[in-house]
């Protein structure tokens, strides 16, 4: 059974908002930063792109607080009535 998340082997796929580079961050690292960043529970932990130093955001990440960050812009819901 495959879950709905984009988690791959316990990692979170981060995407650079500028150059679209992707990087897998270990889930425990992301959760660690998410825990440290407890003052802004609506803001996902972010990392800097190694290519262009822009902000990287998680493609999909479910926080320990139950908040789901979903930035899969390429995946549009195609609902038709």
Instruction: Between 18 and 65, name the residue whose CB sits nearer to Zn ion.
Output: 18
Least distance (Å) between residue 58 CB and Zn ion: 15
Q: Collapsing DSSP states into helix, strand and coil, what is residue 75?
A: coil
Kind and range of the H or E run holding 42:
none
Q: Which of 7, 12, 15, 16 binds Zn ion (CB under 5 A)?
A: 16
Binding status of residue 51 toward Zn ion by CB under 5 A: yes
Residue 50: exposed, middle, or buried by beta-carbon count in 10 A (0-12, 13-18, 19+)? exposed
- Residue 18 tokens, joined: 């500028």
Number of residues that bind Zn ion (CB under 5 A): 8
Q: Site residues (CB under 5 A) for Zn ion?
A: 16, 18-19, 21, 49, 51-52, 54
């Amino acid at each position: 059974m495959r879950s709905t998340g984009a988690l791959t082997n316990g990692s979170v796929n981060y995407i650079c908002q500028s150059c679209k580079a992707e990087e897998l961050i270990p889930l425990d690292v992301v959760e660690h930063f998410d825990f440290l960043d407890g003052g802004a529970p609506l803001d996902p932990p972010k990392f800097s792109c190694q290519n262009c130093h822009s902000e990287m955001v998680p493609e999909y990440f479910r926080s320990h607080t139950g908040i789901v960050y979903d930035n899969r812009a390429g995946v549009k819901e195609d609902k038709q009535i």
